[in-house]
Structure 1
C-alpha cells in the first residue's frame, strides 16, 4: 500500500502542469490588446505555442511542462520585447511586459508655419510646445468625430476675426478629410513569418486563403505552402483590404484573385475552390448573401 501511494505521488508530480500569465501595457500604463505572446524553450528556436492578449491586455499559457523558457511579445506599433530566461517548476508564474512605441530617428527639420494648426497625436508630450506655436487644438488618440468637430468650430470662430480667406478654410477641411480617409484605408501589405532559421516576408497579395487554428492562423499561398501567423482571424480580418479578402465563415477567409470555381450547395451555402488549396471551403448560410454581393 505504501509503495502504491508513493508511485501515485510520483506520477502526479511528473504530470503536474504549470501556468504562466501576465499583462501587457505601454509606458503610459495603458493595457495593450491583440499583442502576440510566444513562448520558447531555452536552446530551441522553434516556438512552443503562442497566445494573443485580450481586451484587458492579459494573457495566459496553460499546461506548460517544467523547464527553462523565454517569452517574446510583439504588437503593431511597439518594439518587440523578450523576457529574461526563467525556470518553471510546478508553479503559477507571472511575467508582465511594458512595451515602448517604435520610434524612427529623423534629422531635425525646422518648418515655419503661419496658419492655425490642429495637432493630432497619441501623446501629450508636445502639448506645451504646440501652444507656443500656432496650435489652436490638441487632439489625443483615440480620435472621435466630436473632437474634430470642436476643433474645427474653434478654428472657424477664430477665422472670422483673422486675415485668412475662406479659400484657405475649404482647403484645410478638404486636406483633413483626405488625411483621415488615407489613415482609415491603410491595410497590411505583408506579414512577418518567424521560422527556425530566421524570418520570412509573406506578401498579402500572395495569400490565397487564411484559416483559423486556435489563437493562431494558417495562411495558404497560391503554391499550397502553409505559413503560421501568430494572430487571431478577427485581428487579421481588420488588417486586410475588404475588397480583396472576405471571411466566408467563422474560421476561413478567401482572396478574390485566387477563387477558381464556385458551386451551389445545400442550405444556401456555396463550395469554393481556391488556387493552392487541396480542399474546397464553404460559406456559412449567414455569409452567402454578402459573399455574392462582394463578388460583384
Structure 2
C-alpha cells in the first residue's frame, strides 16, 4: 500500500510513518507534505496513492480546502488534535478520524477498517470511487441482524443481538449464549455469522468465538503480546487473543 502523509509537524510525521511500517512493513510512504498548496500540486502531478493520512490544521489553513481544489481519488484518514472537525471530516468521505497523539492500536483499527471496506467494494476502475465505497459501507451496515430465530426445545423463539453475550463452537456445534447464560444451537457457521453482525459491537476473537463487546469482563496480559480474556457469563475454556489481533481488539474496546 502506498501512503501519502500530509502533516506539518516533522516529529508527528516521522512517528506516523513508523507506525504505518509497524502495521505492515510493505507500506510505502510516498511523501510527507506540509501545506495545502504542496498537496494540491502533488495530487495534480502524481498517481493517486492508496491512502492519504491528512492532518486537518496545516501550515496554510484547514486541509478541507484540498477537496475544493483537487479531485481526491483515494481514501483519507484524518489526524488532528481538534475533535470539533469530526463531522466535517466525514462529509468529505474519510475512512476514519484519529485524535492526536495517535495511538498505534487506533491506527491499526482504522487500517483494518480500510482493508475490510476494500474487500466489501472492489472497483474495476484504476481509481477508487469514494461515493460508491461509502455507499457500500452504509448498505452493509443496514444489513446487520437485529435478532435470531433459535430453537428452544420444541419451540422457536427470537433472541435480540443486544442480548447475545457470545457465539462459540463446541465440538462442531455452534452455540449462541445470551447474557442470561441461556444456550441455543445455530445452523450458520461463524464465518457466516461474522458477516451479519455489527463489527462495532461484535469481534471475531478466534476461529471458535465471536464476542459481544459487553461480554468482556477482564483482560489480562499474556505471553508474547497476547491477552487473556474473562467473559460474562463465564466460558469454561481459555480465551486468548493472538498477538496479531490484540491491537485491533484493544482499539475495538477503547472506542
- Higher helix proportion: 2
Q: Same fold (TM over 0.5)?
A: no
Higher Cα Rg, which structure? 1
Give me the TM-score of the superposition, normalised by structure 1.
0.39
Give me the TM-score of the superposition, normalised by structure 2.
0.44
- Higher strand proportion: 1
